Structure 1
Amino acid sequence: MKYPILSMVCSVLIAAVDADIYLHNPRGSNNRHDENTRERKNEKRLFDSQNNDRGGYNVGSPMKYYSGSKYQIEWTNQHSCNSAKGNCELILQYMCNSDLRDGTKTDTIPDTEDGSKDPQYGMHENYEHYLWCSLRERNKGLFTADQNLNNKHTAKYTRQDNQGNRYGYECAEERDYYPYWQPSPWKDIAIMTNKAKKCPYYQSESQNVKSRWGCYFSFEDLKRAKDQINNFPKKSLPNNKEDCEQTQVNGIKGTWKEFPAHGLSKPDCRETDLSRDNHLGNGLNGNPNVYNWTLPDIDEDKCVFRIRYNISTEDYDSWNTTAEYNGNPTKLDLSSKYGLPSEEDAKTRGFVFKGNPNVKLFATANFELQLALDTSQYGRTFQDRSHVFSIKQRPDSLKGMMVHNLNVRGKRGNIVQVYPAVEYDFVPNTINIMAGDYVHFQWTGSNNNPQNNAGQGKPGTDRSNVLLLTPQLYPEGNDVPFGQGPVFGHYGNNYPSSLNNASFLDLSKNDLIQLSFLKPDNADKDLNNADPYFNLEPRQVMTVGTYHYVCTRNNDFSNRDQKGRISVNKFQMENGALGYMGGTLTSRDHQVVLTADQGVFDRLQKLTMEVWPREEGVRRMESYGVTLSIGEKYVSNFLVISPQTELTALGKKFQVRIQTDPDAVNVNMYVSSTDSGFSSWSKVKADIGKDGVVTFSTSRGGVYVAKSDNYTVLIIALCVSILVVFLIVGGAILYFRKNPAKWTQLKDSTKMVKRSTQNKV
């Protein structure tokens, strides 16, 4: 088949409504470079975002991250995800190569080879990528509704962009569709979708694991074809094997070539987090939606991240609607979908796919309403991209260690001035780490924000610093405990602790000075003379506790609050988002593994798996008055799976494997909950394997532990007690038989005591 019918992952939009997406960490550009205006100057600089002109962050100094470190991606999107109002996909990707650059100006890079080499212009995709796209025949098997794509033959024209506008060197067809059927430089990180049952398809079709085929032309042939394209019979270069091998156009002939897969693991795929439509704000839990990315094991100086937000209407079956309906969308029969008696009745009453249809609400009355619909937006894609950053190999001192990135998002101004960007905050705002892990403080900003945006310090400048807050001074109601160990600093305060006695993350005095003043000799209280970029190389943290810290410059309490929290734990804690596709959570020491098969969860579950050492579990239970019976002992650590509720689809269970003492006997698994105060324990059916590995299945969260119910000890103790009693009685009988006078004396003494008692009464 010449034109493969590939579904659109771009999806729902009511016309005249922007469904923007804005990337906050890493700092999304939204095509902005270093403008001192609230609006970006050129929406076509690097890519087609479809976003509002006022979004995005100015370019700063390139951020430098370490491979394998934990990085929290944060964004906001306009319309709903994970709801019945429409279909939604979020595609997370990255690209690295030596040609990437932010450039120094806001102009769009020229459509020439010389322009592609000019360092003034920003560039993501290279010129050869765009040239091939702009000359290659578009996929004419795709549904384009009533959009007019006649005489528009190449892949730079799509249903969403039927004018073929150029945005940097981006390919419109590659941008609008996923999985894309032609080679792409973008590598997949994750796909989040309302339709998680499509995940096996997405993963198997990802170019991470599956090669692509295309009609290959040399760069020189592409440049020649650009000049001759109007003389070609189809006004385009072939996009399929048959034409590629049999057609020669003006002396230019391609080679049907396999482009290898990227050689990466398949991307993560799961349900989207819920977000509210028409909101452009936080998710269900009141915090921004995030994705935790483990950075790849690469050594690259120049990388770019992009997030694509695809929304589609559920009014028609976008997966199975083909080019057959192009130009005449009234062919789509909507009668059964909307409960109308016939296809003809649906058409007569305006239930058809075309722009701004007039719909009759009553069959017998001539009463119509016009729907504000644009078929170019039935499936629509938005995107944002980061500025250039690097991912570097770790030094020997960090190999095998967990590194957590701690950054700053936002820009100068109050919420009205920066919207749809955001004000300052630390990312992650709350971070849980384990004693022995490393924290990498790093952020960047701009000196060229709009001069009249609100904020402290020199107008237009971004600055951030970090200082431990002062301890709690007064009781503040029912504070909810957070984290383990002592608390350092208090969220309710706004003054920092003195550096003379601050104990913050085991950092040296010199590190504390750098975090506070950004450079050792800084005498400016507003930090104006410091660079907007700050980098404190990863530092190891050992002391358990919860640390609350503040940025002194951007925290004025009335309308800006830039504070963060780091909780350093003494025992293992793993977090994961598992949905329909299932997945695995593994403890750091690999002694506990939680595995969910595909279909076990019928919705996205944000799971936390804590492993308490036995002494910690005993301490917590004893605080509730719970102790072991004689003959019992714990033979595993305590496993806490949260939420401590029913988690799975009806009748489904996930598996847990936990290490117990290899020499333990009569081992059984038990489950309770912290909510019940460990007041009741239930036995869990489990299999005991070699070397003390216990495997069990469960459908709920809770506190799990293995106990050895060794009642042999209790029986022996009882037998010993009976034997002791028997020996005492037997010995007494034997003694009095040998000494009858003593027995007579004992009886007489007993009688005297009895008479004395009676006389007193």
Structure 2
Amino acid sequence: MKLLTVIVWLATIVSHVNADTYLHNPRGSNNRLDEANRDRNNGNRMFDSQNNNRGGYNVGSLYYYEGSILSIEWTNQHSCNNPNNHCNFVMQYMCGDLVRDGTTTTTIPDNPVNCRDYNCNTDLKYGMHESYNYYLNCKGRVRNKGLFTADQNLKGNSARFTRQNPGGTRRGYECPEERDYYPYWHPTPWKDIAVLTNDPTQCPYFEEESENVKERYSCYVPSGLYSEYARMRRQAYIPNNKEECEEIQWPEQKDIPKDANVTVEYGQWIRSEPHNLPKPICRQAQYTRDNHLGNTYGGFPLMFNWTIPDINHEHCVFRIRYNISTGDFEGWGPSAVNASNNKQPGKNYANVDVATKYGLQPNNQDGRGYVFKQNPTVEIFDEFATTGNNQDKDFQLRLAINTNQFGRTFQDRSHTFAIRQRPADLDCSQIHNLNVRGKRGNIVQVYPGVEYDMVPNRLYVAQDECIHFQWTGSNTNPNNNDGQGRAGTDRSNIVMLEAQRYSEGNGRAVASGNKLGHWGNSYPAHLNDSETRFMGLSREDLDRLSGLTHSQFRGELSELDDSGTYFDLGPKKVTSVGEYHYLCTRNNNFSNRSQKGKIYVERQARGWNQIDWNGGSIEIGDSSVWFDRGARDTPQDVGMEVWQTEDCENLINSLGKSLPSGSSAGSCVALYPQEQLVKDSAKFQVSMPVPEGVTEKVSIWKTTTDSAAQWTLIEAEVSNGQATFQASEGGVYVPRKSVNVAAIVGIVCAVSVLLIIVCGTTIYFCKYPEKWQALKKGVRQKANYAKRSMQSQV
């Protein structure tokens, strides 16, 4: 396999349209460090984002506990899950002892002579993600010549040179070929988190090919051989396939068998173990529209909830890649563009058939300009074509096509963060991270960043779960950016809003019915009012959240000027049920910003997942719902709640419904939306814990929160304390137990038979006592015989 052509068709999807993507939580750097100007100083500092120079945030280092939930938030300029293109988002992370943000915006050198102690890996002045050795291997490795390069003239032969980077420009120690293609075929330090794609039928492929679960191979060339080949060829040379790798050998050793008892240097095709992590989550991407770095449906930002892995490391970084391809030609599958579709001898355009799609004959595409090349000129009217004797060029139109961007990968990476072990004395089942996004300035000044907001803006937690309040700001924003407090600074705090003053929509009801604070207000509640105590937090915690004790005793705190940029309250258990509205008092200029949030604390646990063709599941404790692949064609957000027994009965009673016959059999499960959740005759599976008793029978009943809805009996299988059943609709599923008449009748019959046998035996031996004596004598003899046998063996 000389050129890895087997993976050509799969790799093109990430290299196919000018767009940008920006990471807002955790804070994306876009190669920024702490510059006080709007443009970043160096777009080549750490990685190739291909984004606008004004993107990124100055600082962003936080820490997250293992197993906690972090809301990833981003924007992308062009659409996804839209019929006019193909796209996906690839989310990954890496950790390493030398991963760092650095202290200078200068790109890390690629010559150790220019680094302290002649070691760039350990020169902490420079920011670094991938290592120097990783980049050297990329620089010396032959590029995959089975890839689609269109009509681009690549300036080199190594993995530094790609269709998107034909000149091999270096950005940090990133490998351009790995950046542009996914899944990549050589070992990388990146671990997969998720792939969000416009076509969920590709998910099985992404899951199986991920380096999380599948090994990789690479060629090891001894240093002496490497230098010799580099000298002879005047360039680095590391084969990218097994056959050529194992052919590398010193010329004078060619005839020596590799298993001979002599030292022979030759190339070795080395297997790298997979990361041994779970398969990446894969699902359909949320809808976004073209030319819009903004929110999706409902006015909510693009978001993915990441459960932080158990790795306990102080130096980690997150990246998101936005891969978008044109719909003008096929970019996936066996007919995808590959090396055979590149520019051929005698032509100045790529060998891609774009004419047939527009009703033209392939042999007529050249004359009419319907070819894939840089800025082609097309003639859209046949009768005015410049073919033959017709030289009228009045109807020629030039298309703005750049073949190294018409199909493109963008990315953003976070500032470094830490992942730490969960405190052993932390008494809560789940930790939710609550952070601050955005930076100082109005929407024009911060664009393509965003203004201040809380992340997540609406947070749902169960009673006795924990919220980790943590955020950071900057002291180096442009001084003329709009905002409150000292110029150039970011500061945030949290204070609960005062009580509701006017009516508004019903919103979402919580179990307790308590609505504390009002989103429509702009003033905080009094901290001394016990009835407005924020989620049951202590007065000390409320003082710290408000900014009154941000590690600063007194000082100028009216606008938080003397508070620190970084704040960490740590995880705090929320004990009081209700709907809580809060604000940041500093960033509350009604004209152009309003930094507010809402937290729902409910007695019942709540979870959700986006269900599409790829299926999916939701698990809360011992309760779960599972959708098989193919159960849906379109994405749907599905929510699940587990109501404890008392809350469940209260919920049913509040609807004015009488419960089905029988008594409570434990907690109930509510699924939202309460409508058909699968297509046609498909079903999803629900499992929930129920008590088991020999004389009890458990039944599952279903209804909805519509008071007019009737009860429906669901067929369920009960085994080992779990009730499992199939369903097609959302609603409230309630377990009830009743007397198991059949089991009781069976037990009575068995006891009756046993009594009859005992009574009959007693009457028989009373009538024939000699039989009873003979039976006892026989039992005694057998016992004595067994005893003597054991003694003889001893």
TM-score (norm 1): 0.87
Contact kept, 8 Å, 1:513 with 1:520, in 2: the verdict is: no
Aligned length: 698
Separation in 1, partners of 2:447, 2:174:
26
Match of 1:535 in 2: 568
Contact kept, 8 Å, 1:3 with 1:141, in 2: the verdict is: yes
Q: Aligned to 2:717, which of 673, 688, 698?
A: 688
The answer as to 2:166 corresponding to 1:162 is yes
The answer as to 2:344 corresponding to 1:343 is no
Q: How much does 1:200 deviate?
A: 1.2
Give the residue type in structure 2 aligned to 1:81.
C
Q: Aligned to 1:325, which of 341, 355, 369?
A: 341
Contact kept, 8 Å, 1:148 with 1:327, in 2: the verdict is: no
When residues 413 and 301 of structure 1 are mapped into structure 2, their CA distance, relative to the original with a 3 A threshold, is: same
Q: Aligned to 1:622, which of 642, 653, 667?
A: 653
Separation in 2, partners of 1:539, 1:250:
68
- Which stretch of structure 1 is more off in the superposition, 276-285 or 3-12? 3-12
Superposed, 1:485-504 pairs within 5 Å as 485=512, 486-501=514-529, 502-504=532-534
Match of 2:55 in 1: 55
Q: How much does 1:470 deviate?
A: 1.2
Contact kept, 8 Å, 1:232 with 1:249, in 2: the verdict is: no
Match of 2:747 in 1: none
Superposed, 1:168-567 pairs within 5 Å as 168-217=172-221, 225=227, 229=230, 231-232=232-233, 236-248=237-249, 253-319=266-332, 320-328=336-344, 331-340=351-360, 342-366=361-385, 367-398=395-426, 401-472=429-500, 474-485=501-512, 486-501=514-529, 502-517=532-547, 518-519=550-551, 521-524=553-556, 525-567=558-600
Separation in 1, partners of 2:190, 2:645:
47
Q: Aligned to 2:620, which of 584, 587, 590?
A: 587
Give the residue type in structure 2 aligned to 1:113.
P
Q: Aligned to 2:11, which of 8, 13, 21?
A: 8
- Which stretch of structure 1 is more off in the superposition, 688-697 or 82-91? 688-697
- Which stretch of structure 1 is more off in the superposition, 618-627 or 163-172? 618-627
Give the residue type in structure 2 aligned to 1:182.
H
Give the residue type in structure 2 aligned to 1:331.
N
Separation in 2, partners of 1:201, 1:481:
39
When residues 548 and 299 of structure 1 are mapped into structure 2, their CA distance, relative to the original with a 3 A threshold, is: same
When residues 339 and 639 of structure 1 are mapped into structure 2, their CA distance, relative to the original with a 3 A threshold, is: farther
- Which stretch of structure 1 is more off in the superposition, 277-286 or 394-403? 394-403
Corresponding residue SS for 1:8: helix
Give the residue type in structure 1 aligned to 2:430.
M
Corresponding residue SS for 2:735: strand
CA-to-aligned-CA distance 1:434-473 (integer Å, 9 cap, x gap): 111111111111111101001111111111011111111x
CA-to-aligned-CA distance 1:211-254 (integer Å, 9 cap, x gap): 11001246x669x74x9736327753222111211124899853
Match of 2:63 in 1: 64
Give the residue type in structure 1 aligned to 2:633.
D
Match of 2:750 in 1: none
Match of 1:128 in 2: 133
Give the residue type in structure 2 aligned to 1:139.
N
Contact kept, 8 Å, 1:22 with 1:421, in 2: the verdict is: yes
Contact kept, 8 Å, 1:10 with 1:309, in 2: the verdict is: no
When residues 89 and 478 of structure 1 are mapped into structure 2, their CA distance, relative to the original with a 3 A threshold, is: closer
Match of 2:735 in 1: 706
CA-to-aligned-CA distance 1:369-423 (integer Å, 9 cap, x gap): 3222111123210000011110011221137731111111111111110000011
Give the residue type in structure 1 aligned to 2:718.
G
The answer as to 2:640 corresponding to 1:609 is yes
User: What residue ranges of structure 2 are gaps of 5+ in the alignment?
Assistant: 253-264, 386-394, 742-794
Give the residue type in structure 2 aligned to 1:531.
G
Separation in 1, partners of 2:585, 2:35:
26
Match of 2:29 in 1: 29
Contact kept, 8 Å, 1:582 with 1:596, in 2: the verdict is: yes
Match of 1:738 in 2: none
Give the residue type in structure 2 aligned to 1:285.
G
- Which stretch of structure 1 is more off in the superposition, 446-455 or 633-642? 633-642
Superposed, 1:623-638 pairs within 5 Å as 623-628=654-659, 631-638=661-668
- Which stretch of structure 1 is more off in the superposition, 493-502 or 611-620? 611-620
Separation in 1, partners of 2:658, 2:628:
36
Tell me the C-alpha RMSD between the 2 structures. 2.4
Give the residue type in structure 1 aligned to 2:505.
N
Give the residue type in structure 2 aligned to 1:506.
G
Contact kept, 8 Å, 1:445 with 1:532, in 2: the verdict is: yes
Match of 2:791 in 1: none
CA-to-aligned-CA distance 1:33-72 (integer Å, 9 cap, x gap): 1100000010000000000000000025x31111111100
Corresponding residue SS for 1:331: coil
Give the residue type in structure 1 aligned to 2:632.
F
Q: How much does 1:670 deviate?
A: 3.2
Separation in 2, partners of 1:646, 1:207:
37
When residues 693 and 13 of structure 1 are mapped into structure 2, their CA distance, relative to the original with a 3 A threshold, is: closer
- Which stretch of structure 1 is more off in the superposition, 632-641 or 209-218? 632-641
Contact kept, 8 Å, 2:12 with 2:337, in 1: the verdict is: no
Q: How much does 1:113 deviate?
A: 2.5
TM-score (norm 2): 0.84
Separation in 1, partners of 2:690, 2:409:
51
Separation in 2, partners of 1:468, 1:33:
33
Q: How much does 1:364 deviate?
A: 3.0
Separation in 1, partners of 2:329, 2:525:
60
Give the residue type in structure 1 aligned to 2:567.
F
Contact kept, 8 Å, 2:437 with 2:455, in 1: the verdict is: yes
Q: How much does 1:549 deviate?
A: 1.2
Corresponding residue SS for 1:173: helix
Q: How much does 1:430 deviate?
A: 1.0
Give the residue type in structure 2 aligned to 1:521.
F
Give the residue type in structure 2 aligned to 1:337.
K
CA-to-aligned-CA distance 1:634-693 (integer Å, 9 cap, x gap): 53533211112222233321111223342475654333222x324323333x23222553
Separation in 1, partners of 2:632, 2:659:
35
Corresponding residue SS for 1:179: coil
When residues 195 and 594 of structure 1 are mapped into structure 2, their CA distance, relative to the original with a 3 A threshold, is: same
- Which stretch of structure 1 is more off in the superposition, 239-248 or 689-698? 689-698
Give the share of equivalent positions with the same residue, in percent.
47
Separation in 2, partners of 1:134, 1:335:
38
Give the residue type in structure 2 aligned to 1:600.
A
Separation in 2, partners of 1:369, 1:143:
26
CA-to-aligned-CA distance 1:555-590 (integer Å, 9 cap, x gap): 1222110111111110121111222222221122x1
Separation in 1, partners of 2:365, 2:445:
47
Separation in 1, partners of 2:712, 2:169:
65
Separation in 2, partners of 1:260, 1:688:
42
Q: Aligned to 1:119, which of 103, 110, 124?
A: 124
Separation in 2, partners of 1:628, 1:268:
39
Match of 2:692 in 1: 662
Corresponding residue SS for 2:617: strand
Contact kept, 8 Å, 1:8 with 1:318, in 2: the verdict is: no
